[in-house]
């Protein structure tokens, strides 16, 4: 890994850019034939304002969508009015299938 020496002119250019976005840093890197990673690191080390690239949001899982195996097993036992040993040891997908079968059968 080689150390990149930023010239005073390059540093002044970075300082004059205002809030530096990822795209601006990438353009600077291309112009000066250095890596974007180096530019971002330099901007942060100089404590210049930097706006990172916005990544696509991951879909969030709501609390209602999160179901525990124990909860599904308890629901099945409640519907059938019986207690099973180790029912919650089944894979969640299988427990959900069983719950749906029991719901339709009752």
Same domain? 77 vs 45: no
How far apart CA 45 and CA 43 sit, in angstroms, is 6
- How many domains would you assign to the chain? 2
Q: What pLDDT score does 14 carry?
A: 92
Same domain? 43 vs 13: yes
2, part of any domain: no
Q: What pLDDT score does 43 carry?
A: 93
62, part of any domain: no
56, part of any domain: no
Q: Tens digits of per-residue pLDDT, 32-55?
A: 999 999 999 999 999 999 988 877
How far apart CA 85 and CA 35 sit, in angstroms, is 59
The model carries a pTM of 0.50
End-to-end CA separation in angstroms for the chain: 68
Query: For the chain, give me the number of helices (H) and strands (E)?
Result: 5, 2
Structure tokens at 55: 């990544």
78, part of any domain: yes
How many Cβ atoms are within 10 Å of 13's Cβ, its own excluded?
Answer: 14
Q: What pLDDT score does 28 carry?
A: 94
Nearest Cα residue to 14 out of 55, 41, 52, 53 = 41
Q: What pLDDT score does 87 carry?
A: 87
63, part of any domain: no
Q: What pLDDT score does 63 carry?
A: 52
Strand partners, 20: 50
More confident of the two residues 38 and 63:
38
The contacts of residue 51 (CB under 8 Å, 6+ apart) are 19, 20, 21, 22
16, part of any domain: yes
61, part of any domain: no
Q: What pLDDT score does 1 carry?
A: 53
Q: Which domain holds residue 74?
A: 69-105
């Amino acid at each position: 890994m080689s150390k990149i020496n930023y010239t005073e002119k390059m540093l002044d250019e970075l300082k004059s850019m205002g809030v530096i976005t990822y795209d601006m840093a990438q353009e600077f890197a291309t112009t000066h034939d250095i890596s974007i990673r180096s530019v971002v690191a330099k901007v942060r080390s100089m404590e210049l304002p930097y706006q990172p690239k916005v990544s696509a949001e991951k879909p969030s899982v709501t609390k209602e969508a999160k179901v525990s195996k124990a909860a599904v097993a308890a629901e099945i036992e409640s519907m059938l009015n019986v207690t099973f040993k180790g029912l919650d040891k089944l894979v969640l997908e299988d427990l959900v299938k069983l719950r749906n079968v029991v719901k339709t059968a009752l």
